[in-house]
Structures are given as structure tokens and as C-alpha cells.
């Protein structure tokens, strides 16, 4: 009886040691992965800092002024007129918001001139017109000039 019990305990201890080693090995692998990811994050942060510094150097007003003077003949830059600035509300609608043209009217007009008749009409310079969609117009500018723009530029602070 003791020998069987001893063998069972030895088996349990061996299994426990194997499970413990497996867990320890997995934890070490995860720790290595965490260190690798931290190194990648540090590299990306350093790259971002370097790019911010480079942008600060490239966009210095003195440098830009020298470039404008050096390339004035080729660029022929002019100051921006105050009337050229618009608010976000005044811009035309997005491409995804443009209404879809009604294709059924175009198909009905084309059915009457199918086959050789359509080719003859095309050769004769006759065009089939459809109902024109109204061109979207920008919203009128608000009366109060103290409204702030509602656009987030995502600029770096």
C-alpha cells in the first residue's frame, strides 16, 4: 500500500513540476514579447519626436521667408486675400453625401433610341439629356463672427 501511494505522490509531484515549468516558460516568452513591444513603442516615440523637431525646423518663418525670396520669380506667390478664407460650413458637401442621379429616366429615354437608331443619334450629335440634379450650394456664413471653427485639425501641440 505504501509503495502505490508513494508512486502516486511521485507522479503528482512530477506533473506539478512539469506544469510549473510550462507556466514559467510561457511567462518568460510573454515578458520577452512585452520588452520587444516596449522597444518598438520607444522607437516610434523617438521617431515622432524627431519628426516634430524636423517639422519645427522646416516651418520656421525665417526659413520660409528666405525660400519665398529665393524662388519668388518661379512661384509668384501672393498674400492670401481675406475673402478667400471660408468656414467649414461653407464647403461643398462630401462626395458620399451627393445625391445619386435617377437612372430610370435615362433608361426610359434610351429605350426609344436603341440599336441602330441610338447609333445614328450618336453619330448625328444628338444627346439624350436627363433631369439635372441641383448643384449643392454652401451654407450661408453665420452673422456672428465670434463662432469658432468646428474642425479639429489634429495638429501637434
Average pLDDT over residues 112-136: 52
Band (pLDDT 50/70/90 cuts) for residue 157 is very low
Of 138, 38, 143, 21, the closest CA to residue 89 belongs to 138
Count of domains observed in the chain: 1
Give the range of the structural domain holding residue 16, as residue numbers without chain letter: 2-72
Band (pLDDT 50/70/90 cuts) for residue 143 is low
Is 133 inside any structural domain?
no
Residue 139 has pLDDT above 80, yes or no: no
Is 148 inside any structural domain?
no
Is 86 inside any structural domain?
no
Rounded Cα gap, residues 35 and 33, in angstroms: 5
Question: In this structure, are residues 157 and 52 in contact, taking their beta carbons and an 8 Å threshold?
Answer: no
Is 155 inside any structural domain?
no
Is 114 inside any structural domain?
no
Is 63 inside any structural domain?
yes
Is 42 inside any structural domain?
yes
| Residue that wins the pLDDT comparison between 8 and 84 | 8
Rounded Cα gap, residues 14 and 10, in angstroms: 6
Q: Supply the pLDDT for residue 45.
A: 96
State percent of the chain over pLDDT 90. Answer: 39
As a whole number, the mean pLDDT across the chain is 77
The set of residues, in sequence order, having a beta carbon less than 8 Å from that of 63 and lying 6+ positions away, is 57
Residue 115 has φ and ψ, to the nearest 5°, of 65, -135
Overall pTM > 0.85: no
Is 119 inside any structural domain?
no
Amino acid at each position: 500500500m505504501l509503495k502505490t501511494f508513494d508512486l502516486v505522490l511521485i507522479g503528482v509531484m512530477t506533473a506539478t513540476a512539469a506544469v510549473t515549468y510550462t507556466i514559467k516558460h510561457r511567462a518568460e516568452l510573454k515578458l520577452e514579447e512585452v520588452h520587444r513591444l516596449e522597444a518598438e513603442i520607444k522607437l516610434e516615440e523617438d521617431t515622432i519626436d524627431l519628426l516634430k523637431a524636423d517639422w519645427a525646423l522646416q516651418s520656421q518663418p525665417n526659413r520660409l521667408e528666405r525660400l519665398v525670396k529665393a524662388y519668388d520669380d518661379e512661384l509668384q506667390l501672393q498674400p492670401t486675400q481675406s475673402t478667400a478664407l471660408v468656414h467649414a460650413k461653407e464647403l461643398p458637401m462630401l462626395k458620399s453625401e451627393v445625391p445619386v442621379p435617377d437612372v430610370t429616366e435615362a433608361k426610359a429615354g434610351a429605350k426609344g433610341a436603341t440599336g441602330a437608331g441610338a447609333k445614328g443619334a450618336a453619330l448625328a450629335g444628338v444627346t439624350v439629356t436627363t433631369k439635372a440634379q441641383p448643384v449643392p450650394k454652401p451654407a450661408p456664413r453665420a452673422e456672428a463672427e465670434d463662432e469658432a471653427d468646428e474642425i479639429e485639425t489634429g495638429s501637434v501641440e
